[in-house]
Homo-oligomer: A and B are copies of this chain.
Amino acid sequence: MSDKKPLPTKDRLIRAASELFRKHGYHGVGLSDLLAKAEAPKGSLYHHFPNGKSDLARAAADRASDQILRILANCFAEATTFKDGANALCDRLAEAFDQSGMWETCPVAATLFEGPDNDEFRAHAAHLYEGWIAEVHDHAERLGMDHDTAQAAAEHLFVLLQGSWMLARARRSSDVLRELPERL
């Protein structure tokens, strides 16, 4: 494997949390699972994340959100049309879906939405989502849309992708994601 650089413990924890929460949701993952996957002892967890599971969940969601932002940026960077960018994005996400074993959820939803019924968590989830939409919005404006149209387009794409991912998950097939561009 790519274990050349044995990631520092903190990163290993975040990575493991990010993966496990995506698959099983916040409450579906126990500390024992987390520590086993990260190959870290409990002491390290509470050293790096004094508030334990919930702190780690926030960090994991942030990491996952950054990954998404990077994907958004990449797909739209090469695009000359909004439609082009959207198409690339759909393809890229369909790929990710297939690679994930067709069962992971939106990482933010899995870790923050279904987490402890803490208002901070909910607000943070909303904040991350708005970040995604803002990223797409900026590209939309750059590609010629006026402010309002760009906002509508960005939100629309978000909605379509979230919904399609859910149906894809139910069907265990990325077809819905792949055919999404036709519906724009």
Check: A152 CB closer than 8 A to any chain B CB. Answer: yes
Q: Which of A89-113 contact B (CB under 8 A)?
A: 103, 105-106, 109-110, 113
Check: A70 CB closer than 8 A to any chain B CB. Answer: no
| Cβ-defined contact, A114 with B172, below 8 A | no
| Cβ-defined contact, A24 with B114, below 8 A | yes
- The interface bits of chain A over 140-183 (1 if a CB of B lies within 8 angstroms of the residue's CB, else 0) are 00000000000010011011111110110111100010000001
| Cβ-defined contact, B167 with A162, below 8 A | yes
CA gap between A87 and B179 in the complex, in Å: 24
Please tell me how many copies of the chain the complex holds: 2
A159-B155 contact in complex given A122-B172, A172-B126, C-beta closer than 8 Å: no
A side interface size, CB within 8 A: 37
Q: Nearest Cβ distance between residue A153 and chain B, in whole angstroms?
A: 10
| Cβ-defined contact, B27 with A166, below 8 A | no
Give residues in A with beta carbon < 8 Å to B: 23-28, 103, 105-106, 109-110, 113-114, 117, 122, 125-126, 129-130, 152, 155-156, 158-164, 166-167, 169-172, 176, 183
Question: Can you name 27 A-B pairs with beta carbons within 8 Å?
Answer: A23-B117, A24-B27, A24-B117, A25-B25, A25-B28, A25-B114, A27-B28, A105-B114, A109-B166, A113-B170, A114-B114, A122-B170, A125-B170, A126-B170, A126-B171, A129-B170, A130-B170, A152-B183, A156-B183, A158-B163, A159-B160, A160-B163, A161-B163, A162-B162, A162-B166, A162-B167, A163-B163
